[in-house]
Amino acid sequence: MATACVTGASSGIGRSFAEQLASRGYDLIVTGRRLEKLEELERELAERYGVTTEIRILELSDRNALENFAAELSSHEELGYLVNNAGYGRGESFTEDSFSEHERMLAVHVTAPMRLAYAVAPAMKAAGTGVIINVSSLASLLATRSSLMYCTTKACLNSFSESLALELGPHGVRVQLLMPGFTHTDFHRDSAVYPGRKRNRFLLRWMPAPQVVRISLRSVDRGRTICVPGTANKLLQILARQVPRGLRNKLAGAGIGAAFADDPPIELLEADSEASEEANQQEKDAGDQS
């Protein structure tokens, strides 16, 4: 049976990738740092889909650990999917945060996906098949003060992914650049950046993680390189590319703030973290039935 590797599978989008790839019959190699979450996932996937899950506890900014993991993946003979998903946000200012924190984000969002893609691409090329998904963000199209390194590193991942798709496409290897918008995951729940509650506003629509992943995998099946899940996010992507940059950057700061509220009017309230989990569960159940 073919194997899929998902980084950052202990929660959110990565966990949904693991579940949906398992439902397609893939054995899994999953990474993260929260062992108990990954063990829970392993049990769930074995019970529901009868697949094998190998757990790797991995800090992706640790260069030695990354090299060891890359060596393991490069010798894997049946890797069908690599999902470079692990990532995180920080709300510090560029000048006030330590430079080592900036280097850490570069390592997790840029070096690790590149290194792992470099490890798996030769075997995929030789086999004439395989999929590499790099999880970026709609924020990569923006410039914001509050998430400077996040936007910068994800923009780098975009450029890398599109170029890699051009190189590997003729060899039968599909590369997807996935750019989700606001998604219900631990990303915002644990973040000191946006402690407020989440709400839909205008084009800012929160999506459940399983829905993002379902759209991503469908898009891979259709052979598309860039995937922006959700109609509202697609419109935001077009706006981000068309609106003059100065105006776009002003709107971005206000727009990101509008998706969160400490005390939102009840009719605008989409979900707090409990409701987020419920939304993800409902989406997962709907997917299981389809």
Ligand X SMILES: NC(=O)c1ccc[n+]([C@@H]2O[C@H](COP(=O)([O-])OP(=O)(O)OC[C@H]3O[C@@H](n4cnc5c(N)ncnc54)[C@H](OP(=O)(O)O)[C@@H]3O)[C@@H](O)[C@H]2O)c1
Residues forming the active site = 150
Of 171 and 237, nearer to ligand X (C-beta) is 237
Phi, psi angles (nearest 5°) of residue 105: -65, -40
What is the spatial distance between Cα 184 and Cα 161, in angstroms, rounded to a whole number? Answer: 24
Residue 212 C-beta: closest distance to ligand X, Å: 8
Phi, psi angles (nearest 5°) of residue 221: -55, -35
Stretch that binds ligand X, among 81-89, 95-103, 123-131, 250-258 (CB under 6 A): 81-89
Q: Does the footprint of ligand X cover residue 230 (CB under 6 A)? A: no
Residues 100-159 that bind ligand X (CB under 6 A): 108, 135, 137
Q: Does the footprint of ligand X cover residue 48 (CB under 6 A)? A: no
Stretch that binds ligand X, among 68-76, 82-90, 125-133, 253-261 (CB under 6 A): 82-90
Record the tokens describing residue 160, joined without a space: 């890398």
Q: Does the footprint of ligand X cover residue 10 (CB under 6 A)? A: yes
What is the spatial distance between Cα 59 and Cα 67, in angstroms, rounded to a whole number? Answer: 11
111, 59 in Cβ contact below 8 A?
Answer: no
Sign of CA dihedral 114, 116, 117, 118: positive
The site that binds ligand X (CB under 6 A) totals a number of residues, namely 27
Q: Does the footprint of ligand X cover residue 229 (CB under 6 A)? A: no
Residue 125 C-beta: closest distance to ligand X, Å: 25
Q: Does the footprint of ligand X cover residue 19 (CB under 6 A)? A: no
Residue 182 C-beta: closest distance to ligand X, Å: 5
Residue 171 C-beta: closest distance to ligand X, Å: 26
Grouping H, G, I as helix, E, B as strand and the rest as coil, residue 4 is strand
The closest alpha carbon to 112, from 221, 218, 2, 8, belongs to 8
What is the spatial distance between Cα 115 and Cα 62, in angstroms, rounded to a whole number? Answer: 12
Q: Does the footprint of ligand X cover residue 32 (CB under 6 A)? A: yes
Grouping H, G, I as helix, E, B as strand and the rest as coil, residue 36 is helix
**DSSP summary character for residue 97:** S
Residues 61-80: x where in contact with ligand X by CB under 6 A, - otherwise, as a string: x-------------------
What is the spatial distance between Cα 53 and Cα 72, in angstroms, rounded to a whole number? Answer: 15
What is the spatial distance between Cα 233 and Cα 210, in angstroms, rounded to a whole number? Answer: 16
Q: Does the footprint of ligand X cover residue 186 (CB under 6 A)? A: yes
270, 199 in Cβ contact below 8 A?
Answer: yes
Q: Does the footprint of ligand X cover residue 187 (CB under 6 A)? A: yes
Interface residue with ligand X among 113, 180, 210, 255 (CB under 6 A) is: 180
Binding site for ligand X (CB under 6 A): 8-14, 32-34, 58-61, 85-88, 108, 135, 137, 180, 182-183, 185-187
